[in-house]
Structure 1
Amino acid sequence: MKLPNHWQNFIKIFQKKFNSEIVSDSIRVFQDEEAIKERFTTHQFETYLPYYIPVADDSGGQVAVISKNDEDKKVYLTSYGTLEEKYFKILDRDLLHWMQRKFPFDNEDKQENELTAEQQVAFESENKRLIEQIGQFPSLLNFWNQTYSIENLCLPENFPVVDQLLAFQDGYAFNTIASKSLIGEKEGDFKESWLVIASNYFADPFFIDFNDSEENFPVYFAFHGAGKWKPIKVADNIDTFQNVLRTIFELRYDKNGLLSLLTEFSISGNEFWDEVYQNVLEMPEMAEEEQNEMISDSDWQEAEVYITDIGPNKMKIVSLLKAKYRLSGAEALQMSKEARILYHKGPKKWIHSSVKELENLGAQVAIVIL
């Protein structure tokens, strides 16, 4: 059974936060594939709900399920006795948000995460405006074109898809479920000029302030759920932050190397870098052979290469798309007009030739590690 990627991300965070599978007194969260398979088989999901998997249940026969399709991240409520889609109720927009709300098993007094047609038009218009705004700043686009997802150290793990940038601000600048803005001018409020550029496994945001554009965007961090946003400056500018993340990523299995690198940050008394340093202290030490083995294994991680700007050699890119997807000239030309074009998918080890091929033609690319 292949479990969705968003469940994999959720369970890693859950296991960091909770020492027991029982939460909120009576909610049992299934923590591995074996536990999910057991419920899937026992309650005949294959017969009644083959495209969904159970992720948690309560003591009264209710069960929370998610779709096997990674595009649908909603958490649905049903019962073991009525395993039919028509009886579904939406519990939450995704597993992480459901966890933040402490796993409620009812959807009373909660608006479903669905926008009206009018709201959808307004949302898309605001998203377009935001994309046009960040398009003026190459350093921001470069940051997202080469990201480094670093697990377990309080560092960025999640990054926005640029053409869906506004959606990534949900939970910070606004709340979709409550249909309200979270922006304010009081101390501790989320400011209108802030933009979340990444988040870690606890949904703590890394953000920039558009008012700092002349300084090439210092990067700030804040702890989520503290009641107030308290910005902590973590890098003098976004290029420096990206370079630091690159170095940490390259050293991610080398505990001594990381401690040496992070010493200069932690002695400054910076609350964020102190947290990162403490997380590294808790890492197990690995021999060089083990480090090389871990790096080798990560080379086989699935990755995608996207064309985000076809650049000056438009017809050469069109020819590549035509050959790759076996399209007609007109179809390839139409594909080249898309804002984000999937060009290659496969093990990270083998994507470099595709990236080089595109960059040699002047195209801009984004690499997404799956």
Structure 2
Amino acid sequence: MKLPSHWDSFIKIFQKKFDSEIVYDRVHVFQNEEVINERFTTYEFATYLPGYIPVADDSGGQVAVISNNDEDAKVYFTSYGTLQEKDFKILDRDLLHWMQQKFPFDKRNDKMTEMTAEQQALFEKENDKMRQKVNQFQSLLNFWKQSYPIENLSLPENYPVMENILAFQDGYAFNSVLTKSLIGEKKGDFKESWLVIASNYFADPFFIDFNEAQENFPIYFAFHGAGKWTPIKVADSIDGFQEILNKIFENRFDKNYLDSFLKELTISGNEFWEEVYQNVSDMPDRAEEEQRQKNYESDWREAEVYITDIGPNKMKIVSLLKKIYKLSGAEALQMSKENRILYYKGPRKWIQVSVEELENLGATTEIVMLDLE
């Protein structure tokens, strides 16, 4: 099974933010291809929804799915009991944004809408027009050519792909789910002359105003989800902003340098730089960070749990094997007679649950760490 690239990006960020596969008490996020494949096979997606992949469920009957087409990043939901494309509802525009909204399963009630041929042609026309427009400004092209994705500080992490620059404006200038423009002239509206040039983890945009090309594009920031757009000027020019990002990126592991450098940017009381400064203050020192990274890498290393002796509660172990492997009673009983039984395979951080479950029944277990590729 080939998973879309946007799922790979999502799961890497998810695993940094959460230490459990169950989040917000009920949402079960499927974190590897093995688990996804198990759901795909168990619920016969190949028969009913061959073009879609299950990525999470609500620990009940509802399941979130994505298309296996990389060009469609939307998150849809349906129920395990129906699995009919015509019954899809849209949860969110993409997995990252859904995560930022805390994985709601009841946020949207919009029926799935597909672009008509006319709408698609219009979208491509507008995209070409925007590409031609930004190509006139070398400073913009330079900014994207030398980007600095900086994690965990509220700074830019996501940048547009030039070939599809219009799609990056989704959620700001327009809403692709509801197929409507979000541009307006009232205070708090997203303005027609604005262009989002980057966003951070929280989907907060960094943007320019084409009307300020003569000033070499001052950079603005706004908090997403506030109900209105309130621009905060974060740099006097796009070149100046890039220089700031470069210094932060090159010294991202030097907390003392960042503390001193960012303190200067907060003197004017800039709300955005004060938030970045606070994020730096909360950073661990380098030794702690290195140890945390080692722990993180170790936690997500693949491991296997084997039963080497089923112990006194034979039938309870048989029952577990029957459930895990979806075996008949006779097949599970036969498996229980093996000298070494694979019980679990997955990230090391989650094996303890399996080990405790087995050892509480009196079984003897063995943990095997798999070699890193």
- Is TM more than 0.5 here? yes
Are the structure 2 counterparts of residues 192 and 89 from structure 1 closer, same or farther at C-alpha, using a change threshold of 3 Å?
closer
Are the structure 2 counterparts of residues 266 and 4 from structure 1 closer, same or farther at C-alpha, using a change threshold of 3 Å?
farther
Q: Secondary structure at the match of 1:44?
A: helix
Higher relative contact order (CA 8 A, sep 6+): 1
Q: How big is the shift at 1:226?
A: 0.8
Q: Distance between the aligned counterparts of 2:240 and 2:81, measured in 1?
A: 55
What amino acid is aligned across from residue 167 of structure 1 in structure 2? A
What amino acid is aligned across from residue 235 of structure 2 in structure 1? A
What amino acid is aligned across from residue 262 of structure 2 in structure 1? L
Are the structure 2 counterparts of residues 162 and 184 from structure 1 closer, same or farther at C-alpha, using a change threshold of 3 Å?
same
Corresponding residue for 2:281?
Answer: 281
Corresponding residue for 1:197?
Answer: 197
Q: Distance between the aligned counterparts of 1:109 and 1:86, measured in 2?
A: 13
Matching of residues 46-61 of structure 1 within 5 Å: 48-49=45-46, 53-61=53-61
Q: Distance between the aligned counterparts of 2:289 and 2:183, measured in 1?
A: 49
Are the structure 2 counterparts of residues 249 and 46 from structure 1 closer, same or farther at C-alpha, using a change threshold of 3 Å?
farther
Are the structure 2 counterparts of residues 116 and 134 from structure 1 closer, same or farther at C-alpha, using a change threshold of 3 Å?
same
Corresponding residue for 1:143?
Answer: 143
Instruction: Report which of the two structures shows the higher radius of gyration computed on alpha carbons.
Output: 2
Corresponding residue for 1:232?
Answer: 232
Q: Distance between the aligned counterparts of 1:155 and 1:32, measured in 2?
A: 26
Q: Distance between the aligned counterparts of 2:55 and 2:177, measured in 1?
A: 22
C-alpha contact 1:218 1:233 (8 A) present in aligned 2: yes
What amino acid is aligned across from residue 220 of structure 2 in structure 1? Y
In structure 1, runs of 5+ residues without a counterpart are: 298-370
Q: Distance between the aligned counterparts of 2:180 and 2:35, measured in 1?
A: 40
2:41 equivalent to 1:44? yes
Q: Secondary structure at the match of 1:214?
A: helix
Are the structure 2 counterparts of residues 2 and 176 from structure 1 closer, same or farther at C-alpha, using a change threshold of 3 Å?
closer
C-alpha contact 1:113 1:176 (8 A) present in aligned 2: no
C-alpha contact 2:40 2:54 (8 A) present in aligned 1: no
What amino acid is aligned across from residue 243 of structure 1 in structure 2? E
Corresponding residue for 2:132?
Answer: 132
Q: Distance between the aligned counterparts of 1:289 and 1:16, measured in 2?
A: 15
What amino acid is aligned across from residue 28 of structure 1 in structure 2? V
Q: Distance between the aligned counterparts of 1:86 and 1:223, measured in 2?
A: 35
C-alpha contact 1:156 1:199 (8 A) present in aligned 2: yes
C-alpha contact 2:221 2:234 (8 A) present in aligned 1: yes
Q: Distance between the aligned counterparts of 2:67 and 2:265, measured in 1?
A: 42
Q: Distance between the aligned counterparts of 2:289 and 2:147, measured in 1?
A: 26
Corresponding residue for 1:272?
Answer: 272
Are the structure 2 counterparts of residues 211 and 19 from structure 1 closer, same or farther at C-alpha, using a change threshold of 3 Å?
farther
In structure 2, runs of 5+ residues without a counterpart are: 298-373
Q: Distance between the aligned counterparts of 1:31 and 1:266, measured in 2?
A: 41
What amino acid is aligned across from residue 122 of structure 1 in structure 2? L
What amino acid is aligned across from residue 193 of structure 2 in structure 1? S
Corresponding residue for 1:185?
Answer: 185
Aligned-residue sequence identity (percent) comes to 64
Q: Distance between the aligned counterparts of 2:140 and 2:113, measured in 1?
A: 29
What amino acid is aligned across from residue 261 of structure 1 in structure 2? F
Q: How big is the shift at 1:230?
A: 0.7
Deviates more, 1:274-283 or 1:80-89: 80-89
Q: How big is the shift at 1:14?
A: 8.8
Q: Distance between the aligned counterparts of 1:247 and 1:140, measured in 2?
A: 19
Q: Distance between the aligned counterparts of 1:125 and 1:38, measured in 2?
A: 41
The two structures have a TM-score, normalised by structure 2, of: 0.67
C-alpha contact 1:111 1:177 (8 A) present in aligned 2: no
The two structures have a TM-score, normalised by structure 1, of: 0.67
C-alpha contact 2:52 2:68 (8 A) present in aligned 1: yes
Corresponding residue for 1:360?
Answer: none
Q: How big is the shift at 1:217?
A: 0.2
The CA deviation string for residues 8-28 of structure 1, in whole angstroms up to 9 with x for no partner, is 5435369759999344x7x41
C-alpha contact 1:3 1:68 (8 A) present in aligned 2: yes
Matching of residues 238-257 of structure 1 within 5 Å: 238-257=238-257
Corresponding residue for 2:7?
Answer: 7
Corresponding residue for 2:22?
Answer: 21
Q: How big is the shift at 1:77?
A: 2.9
Q: How big is the shift at 1:88?
A: 5.9
What amino acid is aligned across from residue 230 of structure 1 in structure 2? T
2:218 equivalent to 1:221? no
- The size of the alignment, in residue pairs, is 290
Q: Distance between the aligned counterparts of 2:35 and 2:268, measured in 1?
A: 50
Corresponding residue for 1:327?
Answer: none
Corresponding residue for 2:346?
Answer: none
Q: How big is the shift at 1:91?
A: 4.1
Are the structure 2 counterparts of residues 122 and 86 from structure 1 closer, same or farther at C-alpha, using a change threshold of 3 Å?
closer
Q: Distance between the aligned counterparts of 1:289 and 1:76, measured in 2?
A: 37
The CA deviation string for residues 31-50 of structure 1, in whole angstroms up to 9 with x for no partner, is 643xx744643663597448
Q: Distance between the aligned counterparts of 1:31 and 1:259, measured in 2?
A: 38
C-alpha contact 2:45 2:52 (8 A) present in aligned 1: no
Give the root-mean-square deviation of aligned CA atoms.
3.5
Q: How big is the shift at 1:201?
A: 0.5
The CA deviation string for residues 279-309 of structure 1, in whole angstroms up to 9 with x for no partner, is 1111111149959x99xx9xxxxxxxxxxxx
Q: Distance between the aligned counterparts of 1:212 and 1:111, measured in 2?
A: 40
Q: Distance between the aligned counterparts of 1:268 and 1:231, measured in 2?
A: 16
Q: Distance between the aligned counterparts of 1:61 and 1:289, measured in 2?
A: 40
Q: Distance between the aligned counterparts of 1:29 and 1:9, measured in 2?
A: 18
Q: Secondary structure at the match of 2:276?
A: helix
